[in-house]
């Protein structure tokens, strides 16, 4: 028996809120609580209050809200609500990132802004590639690495706060307990230094990966032909037109002869 392993096309997972029993209720609540529906309801309530008193205002607001709930059944409205939900989730995620990264200093924040601009550029050109490589999660990973690197820097600052020696002291310590504590501090300082170097390397690797994906997405793809040399691929279209010009010239020469 031989096993054949291949790739199969699987449907993408549905976003939350588009399936299940509560999806319709979520769309209704989103349509009713939208700024457009609330503004129209307020305007209708003012008009109803001026024309028929409080009862007219209540009826007008109820009618507008009912129309808003009814429009949640249309596909275009649901698409708009889904896009708004994604935009709100992304804005919340961005605020959390900046709140965490603000303590790392302006240089690290500027570095993050540069990477975020690259990710947005990739999403505009090819959203499929951005989703495949999970670039938003990669930005979250960059934030976690930056915060861990900052904590290592703080730990090293505490290590040198009392002029911690470079090597363990054996004869100059006043007691065995103090010598043991100094040895532990030195060992922890060395571990922090190694960990900080690893985190710095991971930060640089994340930066390089995002830039590599941006390069791959930005560069236009060229159709490859197996019988054509790689160095002549960019000249394929020019070669074809030159061949057509030669054919036309040959045909004209044949007619004139």
Q: Mean pLDDT, to the nearest integer, of 11-23? A: 45
Rama region for 163: left / alpha / beta (φ>0; ψ in -120 to 50; rest): left
Task: State whether 30 and 105 are in the same domain.
Answer: no
Task: State whether 115 and 152 are in the same domain.
Answer: yes
Whether 8 is covered by a domain: the verdict is no
* Rounded-to-integer distance, Cα 215 and Cα 112, Å: 18
Of the candidates 114, 124, 78, 73, the one whose C-alpha atom is nearest the C-alpha of residue 203 is 114
Q: What's the total number of domains in the chain?
A: 2
- Tokens 């690893």 belong to which residue? 198
Give the model's pLDDT for residue 80: 80
> Can you give the residue range of the structural domain that contains 124?
93-218
Q: Mean pLDDT, to the nearest integer, of 217-235? A: 58
pLDDT of 57-89, one tens digit each? 888 888 888 887 878 788 887 888 888 888 888
Residue 160 Cα distances to 116, 156, 196, angstroms = 35, 6, 16
Whether 151 is covered by a domain: the verdict is yes
More confident residue, 228 or 160: 160
- The band of 35, judged by pLDDT with boundaries at 50, 70 and 90, is confident
Q: Quick check: pTM over 0.75?
A: no
- The band of 36, judged by pLDDT with boundaries at 50, 70 and 90, is confident
Give the model's pLDDT for residue 127: 87
């Amino acid at each position: 028996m031989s096993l054949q392993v291949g790739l199969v096309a699987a449907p993408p997972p549905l976003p939350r809120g588009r399936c299940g029993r509560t999806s319709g209720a979520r769309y209704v609540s989103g349509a009713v609580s939208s700024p457009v529906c609330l503004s129209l309801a307020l305007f209708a309530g003012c008009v109803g209050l001026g024309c028929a008193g409080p009862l007219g205002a209540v009826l007008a607001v109820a009618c507008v809200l009912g129309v808003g709930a009814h429009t949640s059944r249309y596909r275009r409205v649901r698409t708009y609500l889904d896009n708004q939900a994604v935009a709100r989730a992304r804005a919340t995620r961005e605020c959390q990132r900046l709140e965490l990264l603000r303590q790392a200093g302006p240089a690290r924040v500027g570095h993050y802004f540069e990477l975020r601009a690259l990710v947005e550029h990739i999403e505009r050109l090819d959203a499929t590639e951005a989703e495949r490589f999970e670039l938003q999660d990669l930005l979250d990973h960059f934030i976690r690495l930056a915060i861990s690197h900052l904590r290592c820097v703080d730990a090293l600052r505490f290590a040198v706060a009392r002029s911690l020696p470079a090597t363990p002291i054996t004869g100059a310590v006043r007691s065995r307990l103090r010598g043991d504590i100094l040895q532990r501090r030195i060992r922890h300082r060395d571990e922090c230094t190694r960990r900080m170097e690893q985190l710095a390397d991971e930060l640089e690797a994340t930066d390089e990966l995002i830039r590599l994906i941006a390069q791959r997405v930005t560069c236009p793809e060229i159709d490859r032909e197996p019988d054509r040399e790689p160095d002549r691929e960019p000249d394929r279209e020019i070669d074809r037109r030159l061949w057509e010009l030669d054919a036309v010239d040959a045909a004209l020469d044949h007619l004139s002869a």
